[in-house]
Chains A and B, each alone.
Chain A
Amino acid sequence: MPNRNGSVYGLTILSPIINDEKATPSHDLQIRSYLAKLSTREDSPFAIAPATHLARLAVMDDVIYVGMPACEEHLNSKYLVFESNCDGDLDSYLGGLADAIPEHLDAIWKHCVGYPGAANGQAFIDYMKACQLETTFYFAAVNDKSVSETLRALQAKTAVGDFIANHQGADAATLQREFIQFMAQLKSEPVPKPGSMGPHRTIKTGGRNE
Chain B
Amino acid sequence: MSNINGKVYAMNAITPMKPWKTWILRGFFFLLGHVKPLRQDLVDLSFIEFARWVVLPRKGFPFLGNSQVKENLKYDYLLFFSNFNGTWNQYIDAFSAVLSKGLNLVWRWSEKFPGSVPVTLFKEYIARVQFDTDYYYTAYPHATANDIKSAHIVQSSLDQLAAKAAQCNPQEFADAYLRFMLQVQAHIGETGEAPLAG
Q: Which of A70, A142, A205 contacts B148 (CB 8 A)?
A: A142
**Which size bracket describes the interface of B in this complex?**
35 or more
Given contacts A64-B131, A157-B150, whether A70 and B16 have CB atoms under 8 Å apart is yes
Q: Which of B2, B137, B188 contacts A160 (CB 8 A)?
A: B188
In the complex, the chain A residue whose C-beta lies closest to that of B26 is A136
Return chain A residues, CB-CB under 8 Å to B1. Answer: 203-205, 208
Interface pair A57/B134, CB less than 8 Å apart: yes
Interface residue? A10 (CB, 8 A)? yes
**Alpha-carbon distance A208/B70, docked complex (angstroms):** 31
In the complex, the chain B residue whose C-beta lies closest to that of A197 is B142
**Which size bracket describes the interface of A in this complex?**
35 or more
Interface residue? B94 (CB, 8 A)? no
A3 nearest CB across to chain B (Å): 9
Interface pair A151/B71, CB less than 8 Å apart: no
Q: Which of B49, B87, B145, B154 contacts A156 (CB 8 A)?
A: B154
Interface residue? B103 (CB, 8 A)? no
In the complex, the chain B residue whose C-beta lies closest to that of A60 is B131
Interface pair A141/B134, CB less than 8 Å apart: no
Interface residue? A175 (CB, 8 A)? yes
**Alpha-carbon distance A150/B66, docked complex (angstroms):** 42
Q: Which of A18, A149, A151, A209 contacts B88 (CB 8 A)?
A: A209
Return chain A residues, CB-CB under 8 Å to B162. Answer: 179, 183
Chain B interface residues (CB < 8 Å from chain A):
1-6, 8, 10, 12, 14-16, 25-26, 29, 32-33, 39, 42-43, 46, 48-56, 60-75, 77, 79, 81, 83, 87-89, 110-112, 125, 127-143, 145, 147-152, 154-155, 158, 161-162, 165-166, 170-171, 173-174, 177, 181, 184, 187-191, 193-194, 197
A-B contacts, 22 listed (Cβ < 8 Å)? A36-B135, A40-B135, A40-B137, A52-B139, A53-B50, A56-B10, A57-B135, A64-B16, A66-B128, A75-B61, A113-B67, A132-B62, A133-B79, A134-B54, A136-B25, A150-B148, A157-B155, A158-B189, A172-B173, A175-B173, A201-B5, A208-B130
Chain A interface residues (CB < 8 Å from chain B):
2, 8, 10, 12, 14-16, 18-20, 31-32, 35-36, 38, 40, 44, 46-47, 52-61, 63-64, 66-67, 70-71, 73, 75-77, 79, 81, 83, 85, 113-114, 130-142, 145, 147, 149-154, 156-158, 160-161, 164, 171-173, 175-176, 179-180, 183, 194-195, 197-199, 201, 203-205, 208-210
